[in-house]
C-alpha cells in the first residue's frame, strides 16, 4: 500500500526543489501517495491566509511532510510560517546533519556532524516587549522589584524561557538518535556559566539524562563560544551536538559552512508523532522559477524522510546516487561548479535527472 505523505511546495525556489526531490524519491520505487497542500504566498493569494488549517490537518493525518521553504510576508501577524508549523505540530527537535560530500568545494573534508536543535522555546518563543510600550515599562518596573540590576527604561525585552521538560525531551531525543544511528558521542552546548537559570537548567538536565545512557553513548558539554572555535579548528572531534534553540540556529549555519554551504544542507523537524522534512536554506526569491538552484539539500531532506518512514535501503540508495552525481561534478548546478561560466552547468531538474539515472 502506498504511504501517504504531505507535500508542501513552498515559495520562491520551493516548488522547483520540491518537485526535484519528489521525482527522486519516487524513482527509488517507494510507493508514496502525495497529499499536496499549499502554504505561504500561494495560499495567501488563494485562501487569504498564509498557513491554512488544512496544511496542519494534513500533516496531523499523514504524520510526515516534505516541505519547500516559505517566505514570511511582512505584516501578516506571523513571525514565520515555518516556526508556526513547528509549533502547531509540536515538532520540538530540529535535526540538521552536516556531512562532507566529495566534489563540493570546502575548506574541510570528512565532516560528519549532526546538530540537534531544540525547536520550541528559548529566545525563539516569540515573547517580546517593544521599547516604549506601556506594558514594557510596567514589566521593567516589575522586574526592578525582584532584581537589583537596572534595566534602562528605553529597552526592548525578549524573554528566554528554558524549561526542564523541554530540555529533557530534546536531550533524550539526541541520545535516542545517537543509539539508532550508531553515533558515539553527544556534546551539549550552552552558556551555563553566564545564564545559570536557563542554560544552567539545560545543562543540569542534560547531565541527568546522560547518566541514563552511560556506557552506551559518551557525553560532554562545551560552552557555545568555545564550541564555535572548536568546530572551526577541530570539527572531527565532534559527533552529535544538542543545543537550545538560538545556539542551534547559529551553530547549524556554521556547520553548513563547514560542508560547503546551504545548497547541500538538509533538515528535519521531528516530534513524538510526526515530522516535517525541509532544507536548511530559504526560498531564495531572486532565483525563483529559473530552474537554476541546487536541489541537493531538498533531495537529502527526502533521504532523511525515507529513513524516518523505515525505508532505509531506499534512503541509502538515494544518498549514494546524490554522492555520485556531486562527486562527478558533471551534471550539477552552478553553485557546485568551479566557475559560474562553466558551459556544463545544468538546471535543477536536470541535476535531479542525473541523480535518478544513478539510482541502482
Ligand atoms: P536563502 O537561503 O533563501 O538564500 C540565501 C542565498 O543562498 C541565495 O541567494 C542563494 O545564493 C543561496 N541559496 C539558497 N538556497 C540555494 C540552493 N538550493 N542552491 C543554490 N544556492 C542557494 O536565505 P534568505 O535570502 O535569507 O531568505 C529568503 C526567504 O526565505 C526569507 O523570506 C526567509 O524568511 C525564508 N526562509 C525560509 C526558510 C524555511 O522555509 N525553512 C528558511 C530560511 C529562510
- Report pLDDT digits (tens) over 265-275: 999 999 999 99
Burial 121-160 (b: 16+ CB within 10 A, else e): bbbbbeeebeeeeeebeebbeeeeeeeeeeeeeeeebeeb
pLDDT at 1: 85
pLDDT at 227: 98
Domain ranges in the chain are 1-98+264-360, 106-121+162-259, 125-160
Rounded CA separation 79/84 (Å): 8
Of 128, 8, 152, residue with least CA distance to 69: 8
pLDDT at 80: 83
- Locus of grid cell 520540538: 92
Best residue for ligand 1 mutational test, from 284, 288, 295, 297 (most atoms within 8 Å of Cβ): 284
Distance 329 CA to ligand 1 centre (A): 23
Q: Which residue has the CA at smallest separation from atom 10 of ligand 1?
A: 284
Q: For ligand 1, what atom is nearest to the CA of residue 281?
A: 2
For residue 309, how far is the Cα from the chain centroid? 18
The CATH fold assigned to 106-121+162-259 is Rossmann fold (3.40.50)
Q: Which residue has the CA at smallest separation from atom 41 of ligand 1?
A: 69
Domains 1-98+264-360 and 106-121+162-259 share a fold: no
pTM beyond cutoff 0.85: yes
CATH number for the domain formed by residue range(s) 1-98+264-360: 3.40.718.10
pLDDT tens-digit profile, the chain (360 residues):
899 999 999 999 999 999 999 999 999 999 999 999 999 988 988 999 899 999 999 999 999 999 999 987 666 566 688 889 999 999 999 999 999 999 999 999 999 999 999 999 999 888 999 999 999 999 999 999 999 889 999 999 999 999 999 999 999 999 999 999 999 999 999 999 999 999 999 999 999 999 999 999 999 999 999 999 999 999 999 999 999 999 999 999 999 999 998 999 999 999 999 999 999 999 999 999 999 999 999 999 999 999 999 999 999 999 999 999 999 999 999 999 988 899 999 999 999 999 999 997
pLDDT at 167: 98
Distance 291 CA to ligand 1 centre (A): 15
pLDDT at 25: 98
Distance 293 CA to ligand 1 centre (A): 10
Distances in whole angstroms, Cα of residue 243 to Cα of each of 64, 99, 231: 24, 18, 14
Residue 116 DSSP label: E
Q: For ligand 1, what atom is nearest to the CA of residue 68?
A: 40
Distance 279 CA to ligand 1 centre (A): 9
Q: Hey, which residues are catalytic here?
A: 124, 191, 225, 249
Distance 108 CA to ligand 1 centre (A): 23
Of 14, 49, 90, residue with least CA distance to 275: 90
Helix segments in the chain, DSSP class H: 14-27, 41-47, 53-62, 81-88, 134-146, 164-180, 199-211, 224-233, 245-258, 296-308, 312-328, 348-358
User: What confidence tens digit (pLDDT) does each residue in 53-79 have?
Assistant: 999 999 999 999 999 999 876 665 666
Q: Which residue has the CA at smallest separation from atom 32 of ligand 1?
A: 71
166 - beta bridge partners? Answer: none
Which residues have C-beta atoms less than 6 Å from ligand 1?
A: 17, 69-72, 82, 262-263, 278, 281-284, 286, 293-294, 297, 335
Q: Which residue has the CA at smallest separation from atom 24 of ligand 1?
A: 282
34 - beta bridge partners? Answer: 5
Question: How buried is 16 (Cβ within 10 angstroms: 0-12 exposed, 13-18 middle, 19+ buried)?
Answer: buried
pLDDT at 76: 58
Amino acid at each position: 500500500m502506498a504511504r501517504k505523505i504531505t507535500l508542501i511546495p513552498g515559495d520562491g525556489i520551493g516548488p522547483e526543489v520540491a518537485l526535484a526531490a519528489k521525482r527522486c524519491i519516487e524513482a527509488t520505487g517507494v510507493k508514496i501517495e502525495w497529499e499536496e497542500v499549499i502554504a505561504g504566498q500561494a495560499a495567501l493569494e488563494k485562501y487569504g491566509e498564509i498557513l491554512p488549517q488544512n496544511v496542519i490537518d494534513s500533516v496531523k493525518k499523514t504524520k510526515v511532510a516534505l516541505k519547500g521553504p516559505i517566505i514570511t510576508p511582512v505584516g501578516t501577524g506571523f513571525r514565520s510560517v515555518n516556526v508556526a508549523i513547528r509549533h502547531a505540530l509540536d515538532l520540538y527537535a530540529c535535526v540538521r546533519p552536516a556531512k562532507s560530500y566529495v566534489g563540493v568545494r570546502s575548506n574541510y573534508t570528512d565532516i560528519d556532524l549532526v546538530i540537534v536543535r531544540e525547536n520550541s522555546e528559548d529566545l525563539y518563543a516569540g515573547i517580546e516587549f517593544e521599547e516604549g510600550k506601556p506594558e514594557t515599562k510596567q514589566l521593567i518596573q516589575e522586574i526592578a522589584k525582584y532584581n537589583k540590576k537596572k534595566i534602562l527604561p528605553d529597552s526592548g525585552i525578549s524573554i528566554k524561557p528554558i524549561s526542564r521538560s523541554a530540555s529533557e525531551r530534546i536531550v533524550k531525543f539526541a541520545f535516542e538518535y545517537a543509539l539508532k544511528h550508531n553515533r558515539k558521542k553527544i556534546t551539549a552546548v550552552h552558556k551555563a556559566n553566564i545564564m545559570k537559570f536557563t542554560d544552567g537548567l539545560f545543562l543540569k538536565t542534560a547531565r541527568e539524562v546522560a547518566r541514563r545512557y552511560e556506557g552506551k553513548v559518551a557525553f560532554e558539554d562545551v560552552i557555545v563560544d568555545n564550541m564555535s572555535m572548536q568546530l572551526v579548528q577541530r570539527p572531527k572531534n565532534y559527533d552529535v551536538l544538542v543545543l537550545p534553540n538560538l545556539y542551534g540556529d547559529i551553530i547549524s549555519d556554521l556547520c553548513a559552512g563547514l560542508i560547503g554551504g546551504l545548497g547541500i544542507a538538509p533538515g528535519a523537524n521531528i516530534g513524538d508523532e510526526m515530522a516535517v522534512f525541509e532544507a536548511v536554506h530559504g526560498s531564495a526569491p531572486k532565483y525563483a522559477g529559473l530552474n537554476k538552484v541546487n536541489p541537493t539539500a531538498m533531495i537529502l531532506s527526502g533521504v532523511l524522510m525515507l529513513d524516518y518512514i523505515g525505508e532505509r535501503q531506499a534512503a541509502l540508495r538515494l544518498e549514494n546516487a546524490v554522492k555520485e552525481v556531486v562527486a562527478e561534478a558533471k551534471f550539477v548546478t552552478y553553485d557546485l561548479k568551479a566557475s559560474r561560466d562553466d558551459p556544463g552547468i545544468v538546471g535543477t531538474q536536470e541535476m535531479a535527472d542525473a541523480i535518478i539515472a544513478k539510482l541502482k
